[in-house]
Amino acid sequence: MFSETFVPSIFSYKHRLLHLSVLFFIVPYWYSHYNEQHRLSSYSVETAMFLSWERAIVKPGAMFKKAVIGFNCNVDLIVSGVRVVEALNTTCSEGKDQESMESLADLHQTFAHFFQRGAAAERYMSSEEQFNILVNEAEASTRSHHHIGGNAALMADRIAANFPSTEVYLVGPIGPRSQALIHPSVKRTNSTRILKDELHVILEYKQGEILGDWVAPSSSRFITSHDHFSGSMVVMEMFFKAIAQFRPDLVIITGVHLLEFQSKEMRQEKMRLIKRNLLQINPKTPIHLELGSLADEAFSTDVISKILPYVDSLGINEQELTFLSHIADGPYREEYPVQAGTVHVHKVVEMLHWLLKTYGRDPTGQNPNKVGYRLSRIHFHCLTYHIMVSSGTDWSNLAAGLAAGARIAGRLSCNIGANTMDSELLEIRTAANFVLDKKMEKHYQFESHNPIASWMREDVLFVFTPVLVCRLPSKTVGIDDAISATGLLYSQFYRLAHEMLSPLRLSRLSIRLIRRKPPVEKGILDEGVTFSDVHNVILTPTTRLPYPEEELRDHLEKTSSEIMKERNKQRYGTRKKKDLGLIDFSHLPIEDHVVALFPGQGAQFVGMGQKVVEVPAAKRIFDEASEVLGYDMLKVCLEGPRQKLEQTLYCQPAVVTSSVAAFEALKASDPSIEENLTDAAGFSVGEYAALVAGKCLSFGDAIRIVKTRADAMSECGKLVKSGMVTVRVKATSKLDKAMTDARKVAIEKRELDICEVANYLYCGVRVIGGSETCLKFLEDNQDKYKIQVLKRLAVSAAFHTRQMESAVDKVAQAFRNIEMHRPVCNVYSNYTGKVMSSKKGDVRGAVAKQVNSPVRWEQIQQFLFRKHQNEVFPRFYEVGPGRQLGAMLFQTSKKMHKNYTHFSC
């Protein structure tokens, strides 16, 4: 009955107001829907993609405030590549990729090789004369112009221009022209200024241009250079020094590819320098590596094994990705070399997944082979599409970063304004439907209003977007750097928040406070959470709780003493702590640590150097020593005679030279030695060899100071007849009393009262230095003072005693004009018995004062002993003549001595 009467009545005339209200609602809705569809359909594909990217681009919650960028900077000389190459009057029948070009003919061949593929590349010209000819030809060309260049400078310029809230610090060789071209807000260091700019010649070409029998399939560029400073040690050291001083929240490293063209020994040394410093950067500070064009397989293998795993983020293009996969047995290794934009997306996805899984961070932290690995983000860009890849929880806002990078790619190439969305110069070059990921069976259906696609593969996130390509590009260089910089600044790095919730940061006080929270004004946490709940969610960040994460964070912030300390540091500053100089190598397994020990005077023998002289690096050490000292050092070491070699003037330089030469031979026999060198210590004059091993001093400077030291100590030794004795004492011995009585006897005879400890060797064993009268007194009264062993040493003076006081100033004077560097490993001081300070003045003072102060070798050995973890010790190498240090190591700890090796000279 109800249905019969109600339904007709609802349409009756009495309900006309209801009918009108429904009509007024439906008609606008239909109209707006139709109008929106009509408006969207009226947009061009390019405009629709721009609008879609605009919707996706959202600034991260916390922008990077400070960024340090290094270390290549130059001026780009941009010219028409075809015109310049044709003007060189060289011939080329076929294109060939030359890793390093020696002539203009090599340039023609290499340019043609990449020209016919439309692929971007960069190669070094080894001949400065040929490069200058190219520069003159390029500058004479019409339409040539200069632009700021170098990956580091380009990225710094882009960030400064587009992200004014981010303070940028650029470290690189900056000349007069680059100083004027770079953005004025970019901070620079005066210590890397150069008088003449480094020049890179950019040979650009457009799609369809003809060179001989070849036609360019796409627009691109070829870069060549002859740099002197971008890959220099000074610039690198200043870069890492700037990181320590500027304290950024973002570090960007570029220009590593420029090391490819240096000698093998030089680039390996610099690679080790980069790796060591990367490992010292705070893990809360993200490190981005912008890769460059690579050609040498051995060098590239070093890059992906020694640098790539220790950065958080990577910027890479299709040439670089396929080359890395080619040399490291990755997927689709046959794709190299490639043409621009021709690698299928699903192949790139496989390569990126392999790269991140092989060299990326282990989210479980259980893989011992990945200790210290950080890589968790890759930004891939090629001509027609971009991909962002990430694993773990450190990075977010990736779609915004990808969209921001894709948005500027075509605009920069065509020089289109930021407000222009529709342009006939831009076009889409992508299929309507294709495979994104074969393994996951992920397909892509192009929609101009929603071009971004994302998917998960295991624990790896992929985000993909096609890119608008410029039909007639006015610029090809610097686009990759702008894309990477923009995508990076729009990305969010979250490791700081993750570390804040680490279980290690919860103190006992925090635990008690969480448990004892008063029942007044209970919040969500106080009502429903137990400490075990909090503990579980901290251990497993993906765990979901019945209350918001913000409440958990707020609760911890109020109760964690560690967080309060951090806040107080930011608010009131921190007290300046004493510089201990200790370098942390905890990222390396303890069994991989290498400790180098260098002997002192007394270890010498005729024939030193015979075992290592065939090694080129060791021979160079002997040659350099001979040049500095003015006599044939190798001949003295090999032939003696013994009486000459035992003289302080010859002995000290000979021991240091032989030890450093042996260390060079050791590194040549096992390259991992230098890479894993964590500690270096030298006994007495051997300390100089340790300083050379730790890169504090160059060998040439060290041997000059040793020469001054030997001369000064030899002169001091002539003041009074003196010597040294080794003594062994026990608990009942009265060594101090014996030395006091000996000094009294010397005073009574009106002689110099020198009798003091010169060396602390190991437990219960000392070396006493003293005048002849004092030493004779000790020998005659050995039993009286219960000295177990007393043995004379074959030395000519009481070294490391007051007798050497006048030598201290001479050694200090020798240090004044010597350039010193921060050590790359822990170097131990004989003067303090501890790790040397990182302050150069402290190091100079300690090494000079060592001359008249006791050698605290026992204390140094105790420091080295404490390095062990669960009875696992580092590797100990005594490098140079003699085995005395190994014998003392055995007396200190037999377990420690099991890892001891003697590498003789």
Cite the active site residues.
Answer: 481
List alpha helices for 446-518, DSSP H.
479-489, 495-500, 508-515
- How far apart are alpha carbons 462 and 443 in whole angstroms? 13
Alpha-carbon separation of residue 453 from 237, 348, 437 (angstroms): 42, 15, 11
Amino acid at 190: N
Residue 287 pairs in a beta bridge with 251
Give the closest residue to 231 by CA, choosing from 397, 378, 72, 462: 72
- How far apart are alpha carbons 464 and 381 in whole angstroms? 10
| End-to-end C-alpha distance for the chain, whole angstroms | 114
Give the closest residue to 317 by CA, choosing from 242, 186, 221: 221
Between β-strands 167-171 and 66-70, what pairing exists: parallel, antiparallel or unpaired? parallel
State the CB neighbour count (10 A cutoff) for residue 564.
Answer: 14
Provide φ and ψ at 671, rounded to 5°. Answer: -60, -20
State the CB neighbour count (10 A cutoff) for residue 210.
Answer: 11
The helix/strand/coil state of 823 is coil
The helix/strand/coil state of 133 is helix
- How far apart are alpha carbons 598 and 660 in whole angstroms? 9
> In the numeric block, which tokens belong to residue 382?
């090629």
> In the numeric block, which tokens belong to residue 424?
């006939």
Nearest 5°: the CA angle 570, 573, 579 is 120
- How far apart are alpha carbons 646 and 652 in whole angstroms? 9
The helix/strand/coil state of 159 is helix
Give the closest residue to 808 by CA, choosing from 839, 840, 837, 831: 831
CB within 8 Å of 267: residues ≥ 6 apart: 259, 260, 299, 302
- CB 87 within 8 Å of CB 104: no
- How far apart are alpha carbons 536 and 503 in whole angstroms? 9
- CB 235 within 8 Å of CB 171: yes
Specify the residue for token string 């992200």: 163
- CB 39 within 8 Å of CB 119: no
State the CB neighbour count (10 A cutoff) for residue 293.
Answer: 20
Residue 390 pairs in a beta bridge with 377, 461
H or E element that contains 666: helix 648-669
- How far apart are alpha carbons 90 and 613 in whole angstroms? 46
> In the numeric block, which tokens belong to residue 708?
């001054």
- How far apart are alpha carbons 335 and 318 in whole angstroms? 10
H or E element that contains 378: strand 377-381
CB within 8 Å of 430: residues ≥ 6 apart: 384, 385, 446, 466
Alpha-carbon separation of residue 297 from 107, 113, 237, 294, 670 (angstroms): 20, 18, 26, 8, 20
- How far apart are alpha carbons 415 and 413 in whole angstroms? 6
> In the numeric block, which tokens belong to residue 129?
């004369």
Q: CB-side exposure of 240: number of CA atoms within 13 Å? A: 20
